């Protein structure tokens, strides 16, 4: 799903639209929050890893995907990869790992 959204060409607005910006950046946070949750619960259900290992693997995989996704966007018309988006993705990833840690403790 993340790859599909990232592969859509961007339509450039003639002016900055704050609401559009907030929706898109919230989507970044939420998609990576969910990805990290899914990874964590998948590791929990299919392995006997410790909670620390589950979190390390989940965060690492999600962060690698966030970085590679921004790289992917540099090939999509009207899009570009941004460090800001990786930082927002990482915020979602780390928030999710905090929730998982509290839930699986």
Ranges of each domain in the chain: 51-105
Structure tokens at 30: 């939420």
Q: Read off the pLDDT of residues 80-94 as tens digits, 9 standing for 90 and up.
A: 899 999 999 999 999
**Does the predicted TM-score (pTM) go above 0.85?**
yes
Q: How far apart are CA 58 and CA 3, in angstroms?
A: 18
In sequence order, what are the residues at sequence separation of 6 or more whose Cβ sits closer than 8 angstroms to the Cβ of residue 51?
101, 104, 105
Residue 8 confidence (pLDDT): 87
Q: How far apart are CA 7 and CA 78, in angstroms?
A: 10
Structure tokens at 62: 């999600």
């Amino acid at each position: 799903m993340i790859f599909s959204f990232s592969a859509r060409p961007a339509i450039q607005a003639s002016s900055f639209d704050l609401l559009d910006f907030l929706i898109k950046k919230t989507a970044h946070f939420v998609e990576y929050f969910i990805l990290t949750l899914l990874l964590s619960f998948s590791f929990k259900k299919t392995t006997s890893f410790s909670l620390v290992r589950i979190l390390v693997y989940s965060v690492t995989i999600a962060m690698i995907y966030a970085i590679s996704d921004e790289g992917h966007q540099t090939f999509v018309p009207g899009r570009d990869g941004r460090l800001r988006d990786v930082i927002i993705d990482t915020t979602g990833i780390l928030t999710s790992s905090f929730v998982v840690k509290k839930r699986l403790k």
